[in-house]
Structure 1
Amino acid sequence: MRILLLLSFAWTTALTSATAYAQQAPAEVGGAHGMVALGAGVVPEFDGAGDVRPFPFATADIRWRGVNFQLRGNGARVDLVSDPRFAAGPVIGPRLPRQDVDGRLGRLPEIGTAVEAGGFVGYRIGGNAQGQGGVQLELSVVHDVSDTHDGLLATASASYAAVQRSDLFLSFDLRTTWADAKYTRTYFGIDAGGAAASGLAPYRPGSGLRDVGGGVTAGYWFDRHLGVIAHASAGYLVGDAADSPVTREGSRWQPIAGLMLAYRF
């Protein structure tokens, strides 16, 4: 089960550049076409962790009858708007659990896998016909539907398509996430029982900005079908999340990196 959840855990804007070129391979008229990619990478063990874990990367962008089915960002989503600049639709994805942790954090209550669902909206500004030079702005809002943290998170991101060619793409992105108190108290709070068990100070965080971050995504197509995609990014915890004893035991830096083999059709 955890492997299936990890397959859907990818990065915030890893497909922003790749999407435009997923459509350049030949496809039957009216048939599905797009891109799928598989690979490996590393992500933080849990929110606020100081260590990373290896995991399988999987991402996809498939268009069928004017609808885009995407595995990207923090899960799966569907772009219901058939428009080259505007995008909107539902999104769903997991948040990794905090389990089997070493040290004092391991004495805190374990947190299971959360499932978050909501929606996103995006708009591309500028850029040529292939998207080069364009800036993609996006906002997503998700709420926990699994009763794990019952919180709300909103993520704003901007991605710049520096290079968009038929054989090469390169993009840079920035992002920030706001989280409510239910989320921050679940992942970064410590109640009296947790403090007594772990030796860490009690901590009751509130809502606010959780992090800021950025990254780079690059890809190269060897031919019309086969290519490779690489991504590296890092988030930096701020506000109440940064001040938590959980983060002090772990790290404010939350890196993600991966390499995938891609196929477009």
Structure 2
Amino acid sequence: MPKVLPILASLAAAVLAIPAAAQSPAPEDNGSPHGFVALGAGVTPEYDGAEDLRVIPFGMADVRWGGVDFEFRGLRGRADLMPDSRFAAGPVISARLSRDDADGAVGLLPEIDTAIEAGGFVGYRFGGNAYGEGAVQLELTMLHDISGTHDGLLATAQASYAAVRRSDFFLSLDGQLSWANKDYARTYFGVTAADAAASGLPEYRPGSGLRDLGAGVTAGYWFDRSIGVIGRLGASYLVGDIADSPVVDEGRRWQPTAGLGISYRF
């Protein structure tokens, strides 16, 4: 079981930046669940700031049930409590990738357990036709660690553009930037005096500030009313104090993710 949580957290890291995927216009909401689920495989960095990638599960789902839109991206889930409005808002819960079995000097630093983060999001959608094509969605998400792993706070601002929205095909573009406080930064990218002595890395104490800038593209094609395929390609670039960390020097600033899955619409 201890090995299962890091794998699931990796899944979340691979798909957490995916905006809501397009569907054909939803059937009349009679209270029964409808939407789509997708499962497949992907790649993501082994840990925050790593150079090496690992193959992980890829999964996502958008389900409307009882007048609420539930969105799942790996181990990140959220509920949009205002699904029929241009405004969006609701709770979010997420898991963050653990750091264990790392290679080199980073492997001599203390292991970091999977973190559980909770918070909320707000958003607003501009434009778009009946299918959502042409819409621009702006969102702000704030998460705080509730597991005691890093006790940090993170905020992410994202903009996505629905370039194509058809009943059989969709294409979305997105960009984001995130900010992290010093508790998060020092847990994942700091090096204490004791850690420096054990690993040979220089001592380092990052502060609060921008964490990264990112962009991605998500596309999907439906072979028929029920079966399709969804893919995601994205990358983020670490900046600020975090980018200057010895942990990143041992890895890299570019953090790519990709995934491909078979989807089922109901």
The normalised TM-score by structure 1 is 0.94
User: Which residue in the other structure is 1:11 paired with?
Assistant: 15
User: Which residue in the other structure is 2:258 paired with?
Assistant: 257
Partner of 2:242, secondary structure, is: helix
The question of whether the paired residues in 2 share the 8 Å contact of 1:14 and 1:73 is answered with no
User: Which residue in the other structure is 2:174 paired with?
Assistant: 173
Cα distance change, pair 22–146 in 1 and its aligned pair in 2 (3 A): farther
The Cα shift of 1:262 comes to 0.5
The Cα shift of 1:29 comes to 3.2
Cα distance change, pair 118–175 in 1 and its aligned pair in 2 (3 A): same
The question of whether the paired residues in 2 share the 8 Å contact of 1:9 and 1:93 is answered with no
When the two chains are superposed, the root-mean-square deviation of aligned CA atoms in Å is 1.6
Residue 96 of structure 1 aligns with an amino acid whose one-letter code is: L
Residue 18 of structure 2 aligns with an amino acid whose one-letter code is: A
Aligned-partner Cα distance in 1 for 2:135–2:239 = 29
The question of whether the paired residues in 2 share the 8 Å contact of 1:22 and 1:34 is answered with no
User: Which residue in the other structure is 1:129 paired with?
Assistant: 130
The Cα shift of 1:120 comes to 0.6
Cα distance change, pair 73–38 in 1 and its aligned pair in 2 (3 A): closer
The Cα shift of 1:27 comes to 7.4
Aligned-partner Cα distance in 2 for 1:66–1:195 = 53
User: Which residue in the other structure is 1:67 paired with?
Assistant: 68
The 5 A counterparts of 1:1-265 are 1-2=4-5, 3-16=7-20, 18=21, 20-21=22-23, 24=26, 29-72=30-73, 75-265=76-266
Q: Could you list the per-position Cα deviations for residues 63-119 of structure 1 after superposition, in whole angstroms to 9, with x for gaps in the alignment?
A: 012111110386011111132422111101111111011111111111111011000
Structure 2 unaligned segments of length 5 or more: list them: none
The normalised TM-score by structure 2 is 0.94
Aligned-partner Cα distance in 1 for 2:64–2:142 = 23
Residue 23 of structure 2 aligns with an amino acid whose one-letter code is: Y
Number of equivalent positions:
262
The question of whether the paired residues in 1 share the 8 Å contact of 2:8 and 2:75 is answered with no
Cα distance change, pair 185–66 in 1 and its aligned pair in 2 (3 A): same
The question of whether the paired residues in 1 share the 8 Å contact of 2:15 and 2:60 is answered with no
Aligned-partner Cα distance in 2 for 1:188–1:28 = 46
Cα distance change, pair 27–33 in 1 and its aligned pair in 2 (3 A): farther
Partner of 1:105, secondary structure, is: helix
Partner of 2:23, secondary structure, is: helix
Residue 35 of structure 1 aligns with an amino acid whose one-letter code is: F
Residue 109 of structure 1 aligns with an amino acid whose one-letter code is: P
After superposing on structure 2, the runs of 4+ consecutive aligned residues of structure 1 that deviate more than 3 Å are 3-10, 26-29
Partner of 1:21, secondary structure, is: coil
Structure 1 unaligned segments of length 5 or more: list them: none
Aligned-partner Cα distance in 2 for 1:94–1:228 = 25
Identity of aligned residues (%): 63
Partner of 1:130, secondary structure, is: coil
